[in-house]
Amino acid sequence: MAKDEYTFNPGDFVVYPARGVGQITEIKSENIGGQSLDFISVNFNKDKATVKIPVSSVKKEATALRQLSSCATMDSAEQVLTGKAKIKRVQWSRRSQEYQEKIKSGNPIALAEVLRDLYKDPDKHEQTYSERQIYDQAMGLFAPEYALVHKIEEKEAAQRLATILKNRNY
């Protein structure tokens, strides 16, 4: 189902790239500056925050509120995780910026690329502080969606993803 065809409903789990997975609590009109605007309220339990998103901006790329990914998309993301890290030979500041752009996209395939490229087996290598920060940020956005799609707990999802990364063939 294309994003334009999807209707958001209270109780639905959705992905808001800036925050990750949240649940729609309500859709209602509010009077602001003499105009009636429709808002979708999304609760993010992890952050203990609720964000109100104007319905008129929901489908815009900058906001990109979307439904959870399909199992097929998550399977594709898992395939990315099993591949060899693709680290460009450019300065860390440029790579870091590219990783941040992928994270901001909220795209599960892009998040999987970040995880794949920044994962280092703790038994063999150490991550730098900034690599770890970006890796944790990507995992924090990817694992909750992975968990909901696969109907497992988030902690189990993170463990499963770490195992996939550790056992990849490269």
Q: Are 27 and 39 in contact (CB under 8 A)?
A: yes
Report residues of the chain scoring pLDDT below 50: 1-3
- The pLDDT, as a whole number, for residue 123 is 73
Q: Is the dihedral of CA 13, 16, 18, 20 positive or negative?
A: positive
Q: Which domains does the chain have, with CATH numbers?
A: 3-67 (2.40.10.170), 71-166 (1.20.58.1290)
Rounded to whole angstroms, the Cα distance separating 102 from 109 reads 9
Phi, psi torsion values for 83, nearest 5 degrees: -80, 175
pLDDT on residue 169: 59
The pTM for the full model equals: 0.87
**Sign of CA pseudo-dihedral 145, 147, 150, 151:** negative
Residues ≥6 apart with Cβ < 8 Å to 23: 11, 12, 13, 14, 42, 43, 45
pLDDT digits (tens, 9 = 90+) for 54-95: 888 776 655 578 899 999 999 999 999 999 988 888 899 999
53 contact partners, CB below 8 Å, separation of at least 6? 16, 39, 40, 41, 42, 63, 65
Look at the chain and count its residues.
170
Name the token pair of 97: 């910026």
